[in-house]
């Protein structure tokens, strides 16, 4: 009988030991708490733009809690800031899998946008809009993608929605202006650029774009004023120097045009357009040798620069070098400059 009791006691003790499961459960909770702590530390580091340290904190939190969606999303945001776009796409895709959200689709689309994955980006911006029809940035970025594809009406429609949901969206006004400019609706372009300037006066390319719209409307003095502002904000803005030079050219102020083209070239020595434009101004100043040298440099920098060949052909014709001019015009035609054919028919045998 004692043996049976002893056996019973041993059995009960064994069962009691096997049934103790409180320690693993408490360890799991401790991991959750530590993951939250690391996450919160990561958020503070992200807000202070300490991206490398924030990345480490979010990754450590995810190591403890594999499906920690907030940490995965925020790690994607850090990677986006650090230009690790492929890594960001992976994290945002996982975040969306765990919790489909407009912000998740939008940021995934932004990373795809940066990697020129245009169709994927448009798809994700559209999904973001599907979840949040007031998402101004998703409309804006989808509009930019449409602009890049040459679908200007679609771009304008998306910029309209962006502005409807964010009335002070300066970039949307600017880019809607650019879409109108491409459609040769220059007054509409000018109005949108002016609104962009009002929303953010210190953005140099808003002024540069407004100057270009004014130039299209033959308001060359107004264009010069806007290019002046752009250059005062950004002193190395080679595009604004080049375009101001073109406005001076139209005003027949050729010395000023040459000075601006020269400044643009000093900032960007491989800027073929500025060499071509300076050549045109030098020709007007009767500096024929200087003009020919600049056309040659433009062609050296861009062998497919058809307009440089066209223009040099005109100068060679004025210098009574018909063989040279015909060779240039034939090359311009070969490069797709349709107007060259007219010169060839009139001047070349």
Q: Are 78 and 58 in contact (CB under 8 A)?
A: yes
Q: How confident is residue 29, by pLDDT bands cut at 50, 70 and 90?
A: low
pLDDT attached to residue 239: 97
Residues 246, 254: Cα–Cα separation, whole Å: 9
Residue 5 has pLDDT above 50, yes or no: no
Query: Per the structure block, which two tokens stand in for 150?
Result: 């040459």
Query: Per the structure block, which two tokens stand in for 296?
Result: 């040659």
User: Taken in order 179, 183, 187, 190, is the CA torsion positive or negative?
Assistant: positive
117-164 tens-digit pLDDT: 999 999 999 999 999 999 999 999 999 999 999 999 999 999 999 999
Closest CA to 202 of 233, 223, 226: 233
Compute the average pLDDT of residues 269-282: 98
| Residues sharing a CB contact under 8 Å with residue 304, sequence separation 6 or more, in sequence order | 335
Q: Are 170 and 200 in contact (CB under 8 A)?
A: yes
User: Taken in order 236, 275, 242, 212, is the CA torsion positive or negative?
Assistant: negative
Q: Are 170 and 199 in contact (CB under 8 A)?
A: yes
Higher pLDDT, 65 or 2: 65
Closest CA to 281 of 244, 306, 256, 309: 256
Q: How many CA atoms lie within 13 A of 212 on its CB side?
A: 23
What percent of the chain stands above pLDDT 90?
89
pLDDT attached to residue 200: 97
pLDDT attached to residue 18: 32
Residues 346, 314: Cα–Cα separation, whole Å: 12
Q: Are 317 and 329 in contact (CB under 8 A)?
A: no
For all residues of the chain together, what is the average pLDDT?
Answer: 91
Residues 214, 319: Cα–Cα separation, whole Å: 34
pLDDT attached to residue 10: 28
40-53 tens-digit pLDDT: 999 999 999 999 99
96-113 tens-digit pLDDT: 999 999 999 999 999 999
Query: Per the structure block, which two tokens stand in for 90?
Result: 């992976």
Residue 349 has pLDDT above 90, yes or no: no
What pTM was computed for the model? 0.85
Q: How far is CA 324 from CA 169, 281, 286, 302, 347, in A?
A: 52, 20, 19, 19, 11
Q: How confident is residue 316, by pLDDT bands cut at 50, 70 and 90?
A: very high
| Residues sharing a CB contact under 8 Å with residue 248, sequence separation 6 or more, in sequence order | 220, 224, 254, 256, 257, 260
Q: What is the 3-state secondary structure (H, E, C) of 107-156?
A: HHHHHHHHCCCHHHHHHHHHHHHHHCCCCHHHHHHHHHHHHHCCCHHHHH
DSSP letter for each residue of 294-325: HHHHHHHH-TT-HHHHHHHHHHHHHTT-HHHH
Residue 15 has pLDDT above 80, yes or no: no
Query: What residues does each domain of the chain span?
Result: 304-349
| Residues sharing a CB contact under 8 Å with residue 264, sequence separation 6 or more, in sequence order | 238, 239, 241, 242, 245, 271, 274
184-214 tens-digit pLDDT: 999 999 999 999 999 999 999 999 999 999 9
30: three-class secondary structure by DSSP: helix
Residues 201, 188: Cα–Cα separation, whole Å: 19
């Amino acid at each position: 009988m004692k043996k049976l009791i002893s056996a019973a006691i041993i059995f009960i003790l064994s069962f009691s030991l096997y049934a103790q499961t409180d320690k693993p459960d408490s360890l799991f909770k401790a991991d959750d708490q530590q993951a939250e702590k690391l996450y919160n530390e990561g958020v503070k580091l992200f807000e202070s733009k300490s991206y490398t340290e924030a990345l480490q904190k979010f990754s450590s939190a995810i190591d403890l809690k594999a499906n920690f969606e907030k940490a995965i999303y925020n790690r994607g945001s850090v990677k986006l800031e650090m230009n690790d776009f492929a890594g960001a796409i992976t994290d945002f895709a996982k975040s969306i899998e765990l919790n489909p959200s407009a912000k998740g689709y939008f940021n995934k689309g932004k990373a795809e946008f940066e990697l020129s994955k245009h169709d994927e980006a448009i798809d994700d911006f559209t999904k973001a809009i599907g979840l949040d029809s007031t998402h101004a940035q998703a409309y804006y970025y989808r509009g930019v993608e449409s602009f890049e594809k040459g679908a200007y009406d679609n771009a304008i429609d998306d910029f309209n929605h962006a502005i409807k949901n964010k009335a002070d969206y300066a970039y949307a006004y600017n880019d809607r202006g650019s879409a109108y400019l491409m459609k040769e609706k220059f007054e509409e372009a000018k109005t949108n650029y002016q609104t962009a300037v009002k929303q953010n006066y210190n953005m140099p390319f808003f002024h540069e774009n407004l100057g270009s719209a004014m130039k299209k409307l033959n308001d060359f003095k107004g264009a010069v004023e806007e290019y002046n502002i752009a250059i005062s904000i950004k002193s190395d803005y080679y595009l604004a120097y080049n375009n101001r030079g073109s406005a001076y050219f139209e005003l027949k102020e050729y010395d000023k045009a040459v000075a601006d083209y020269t400044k643009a070239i000093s900032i960007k020595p491989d800027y073929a357009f500025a060499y071509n434009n300076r050549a045109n101004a030098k020709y007007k100043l009767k500096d024929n040798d200087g003009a020919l040298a600049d056309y040659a440099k433009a062609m050296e920098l861009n062998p497919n620069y058809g307009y440089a060949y066209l223009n040099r052909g005109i100068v060679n014709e004025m210098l009574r070098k018909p063989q040279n001019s015909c060779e240039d015009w034939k090359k311009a035609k070969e490069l797709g400059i349709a107007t060259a054919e007219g010169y060839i028919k009139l001047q070349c045998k």
